[in-house]
Structure 1
Amino acid sequence: MDAREAALRRAHEHALRWLASLPDRRIPARASVDETVRALGAELPDAPSEPADVVDLLATACEPGLTAFPSGRFYGFVVGGTEPAALAADWLVSAWDQNCVMRAASPACTAAEEIAGAWLLDLLGLPPGSAVGFTTGATMANFTCLAAARDTVLRRAHWDVARDGLAGGPAVRVLVGADRHMAVDLALRYLGLGAPEVVESDSQGRIRPPALRRALDRADTRRPTLVVLQAGDIHTGAFDPFPETVQAAREAEAWVHVDGAFGLWAAASPRHAHLTQGCSAADSWATDAHKTLNVPYDCGLALVRDPSALRAAMGLRGDYLIQHERGDPVDKVPELSRRGRAFPVWAALRSFGRSGVADLVDRLCRHARAFADGVAGIDGARVLNDVVFTQVCADFGDDARTERVLARVLEDGTAWISGSTWRGRRVIRISVSNWSTTDTDVARALDAIRRAADATAR
Structure 2
Amino acid sequence: MNELDLLAAADTRGRAYTASVATRRVFPDADALAGLAVFEEPLPEQGLPAEQTLHLLDERGSPATVVSNGPRYFGFVIGASLPAAAAAERLMLAWDQCASSFDNSPVAATVEATAAGWVLQALDLPRNSAVGFGTSATACTLACLAAARRALLARHGWDFDRDGLIGAPEIKVVVSALVHITVKKALRVLGFGTAKIIYAPVNAHGQIDPAQLPALDDHTLLCLQAGEVNTGEFDPFAELIPKAQAAGAWVHVDGAFGLWARASNLAPLTAGIEHADSWTTDAHKWLNTPYDCAMAICRDANALASAMNSDAAYSSASSDAQKNLTLEFSRRPRGIPVWAALRSLGKQGVAEQVERHCRQARRVADGLRAAGYDVLNRVVLNQVLFRAESDEQTVAVREALQASGEAWFGGTLWQGRPALRISVSSWRTEDEEIEALVRLMEKLYR
| Structure 2: stretches of 5+ with no match in the other structure | none
Query: Is 1:260 aligned to residue 255 of structure 2?
Result: yes
Query: Is 1:247 aligned to residue 242 of structure 2?
Result: yes
Aligned to 2:309: 315
1-side partners of 2:20 and 2:30: how far apart?
Answer: 16
Distance verdict in 2 for CA 1:189–1:18, change over 3 Å: same
If the length of structure 2 is used for normalisation, what is the TM-score? Answer: 0.97
Q: Cα distance, 1:326 vs. partner? A: 5.5
What pairs with 1:70-109 in structure 2 (closer than 5 Å)?
Answer: 70-109=69-108
1-side partners of 2:104 and 2:399: how far apart?
Answer: 51
Match for 2:351 among 332, 354, 358?
Answer: 358
Q: Cα distance, 1:37 vs. partner? A: 4.0
Match for 1:305 among 299, 303, 308?
Answer: 299
Aligned to 1:204: 205
Select between 38-47 and 233-242 the one with higher mean Cα deviation: 38-47
Residue 420 of structure 1: SS of its match in structure 2?
A: strand
Distance verdict in 2 for CA 1:233–1:325, change over 3 Å: closer
Residue 333 of structure 1: SS of its match in structure 2?
A: coil
1-side partners of 2:183 and 2:409: how far apart?
Answer: 24
Aligned to 2:117: 118
Match for 1:274 among 264, 268, 273?
Answer: 268
2-side partners of 1:61 and 1:301: how far apart?
Answer: 34
Match for 2:429 among 434, 437, 442?
Answer: 437
Residue 286 of structure 2: SS of its match in structure 1?
A: coil
2-side partners of 1:325 and 1:293: how far apart?
Answer: 28
| Structure 1: stretches of 5+ with no match in the other structure | none
Q: Cα distance, 1:47 vs. partner? A: 2.8
What pairs with 1:64-75 in structure 2 (closer than 5 Å)?
Answer: 64-75=63-74
Q: Cα distance, 1:51 vs. partner? A: 2.1
Aligned to 2:181: 182
If the length of structure 1 is used for normalisation, what is the TM-score? Answer: 0.94
Is contact 1:103–1:329 with CA below 8 Å preserved after alignment? Answer: no
CA RMSD of aligned residues (A): 1.4
Residue 420 of structure 2: SS of its match in structure 1?
A: strand
Query: Is 1:453 aligned to residue 445 of structure 2?
Result: yes
2-side partners of 1:367 and 1:354: how far apart?
Answer: 20
Deviations 1:109-138 (A, max 9, x none): 111111000000011010001000011111
2-side partners of 1:210 and 1:55: how far apart?
Answer: 59
What pairs with 1:205-244 in structure 2 (closer than 5 Å)?
Answer: 205-212=206-213, 215-216=214-215, 221=217, 224-244=219-239
Distance verdict in 2 for CA 1:157–1:65, change over 3 Å: same
Aligned to 2:368: 375
* % same residue: 41
2-side partners of 1:58 and 1:104: how far apart?
Answer: 36
Residue 74 of structure 1: SS of its match in structure 2?
A: coil
Deviations 1:386-436 (A, max 9, x none): 010000000012211100111111111111011000111111100111111
Is contact 2:311–2:317 with CA below 8 Å preserved after alignment? Answer: no
Is contact 1:414–1:444 with CA below 8 Å preserved after alignment? Answer: no
Residue 433 of structure 1: SS of its match in structure 2?
A: coil
Residue 75 of structure 1: SS of its match in structure 2?
A: coil
What pairs with 1:33-72 in structure 2 (closer than 5 Å)?
Answer: 35-40=34-39, 42-72=41-71
Select between 56-65 and 354-363 the one with higher mean Cα deviation: 56-65
2-side partners of 1:132 and 1:203: how far apart?
Answer: 34
| Equivalent pairs, count | 444
Query: Is 1:349 aligned to residue 348 of structure 2?
Result: no
Aligned to 1:393: 385
Q: Which amino acid aligns with 1:7?
A: L
Distance verdict in 2 for CA 1:231–1:44, change over 3 Å: same
